[in-house]
Amino acid sequence: MRRLFDYRTVPREKRTLILAGMLFGSILSFFLISRFVLTVGVVEGASMAPTLQDGDRYLINRLVYRFHDPRPGDMVEFRMIRADDYSVKRIVALPGDVVQIKQGRVYVNGRMAPEPYLPPGVITDGKAIRSQAFKLPDNMYFVLGDNRAVSMDSRVFGGVHKSRFVGRLGIKLGN
C-alpha cells in the first residue's frame, strides 16, 4: 500500500527542487506578510504609559485602514515628518472635528472626549495650541499620547495626515 505523501516515490533531484521551492515560497510569504499585512513594533519612550511601556512589543495591522477609516480610540503607528522616525499615539479626533483643550480636558465638537483608557485625574495641558478651538482639515487626525505630561503629540506638531499612518496597533506582545 502506497502512502499519499511518500517521498521515496519522488526522485532525489525533484525532492531538492521541491524543497528549494518551498523555502523560497516561505521566505517570499514572510516578506509579503511582514511588509503589507502584519509587522512588529517596539515602544521607545513613555508617551503611551501606562497602556504601553518602554520596550513593549506589539503587532501592527497594516491592512485595516484599507477597509475602514481610523476611529477615535485607535492606537496608531505613524511616520513622523522625518521619514526614519515613527511614533505611536491614540486618535482622539477625526477630520472635520472641532478640537479644543480647556480646563485640562479635551473637547471634540463641543463635548468632552470620552477617554476611558486614561487613568483617573489625568490633566491634558494645551501646550502649543493653548485653549483655542480649531477644525481639523480633510484627512487630518488629532492624536495624543496616553501619558499627557510627557507626550509630544498633536498639541505640538498638529494633526497627522492619514497617508502617514503605518497601521493600527493590535496585540501587545510584551517585552
Known catalytic residues are: 47, 89
CA distance 90 to 70: 10
**Residues whose CB falls within 8 Å of the CB of residue 39, separated by 6 or more in sequence, listed in order:** 59, 60, 62, 166, 167
Q: Give which of 151, 126, 157, 164 is closest to 52, Cα–Cα.
A: 151
User: Rounded to an integer, what is the distance from CA 41 to the centroid of its chain?
Assistant: 9
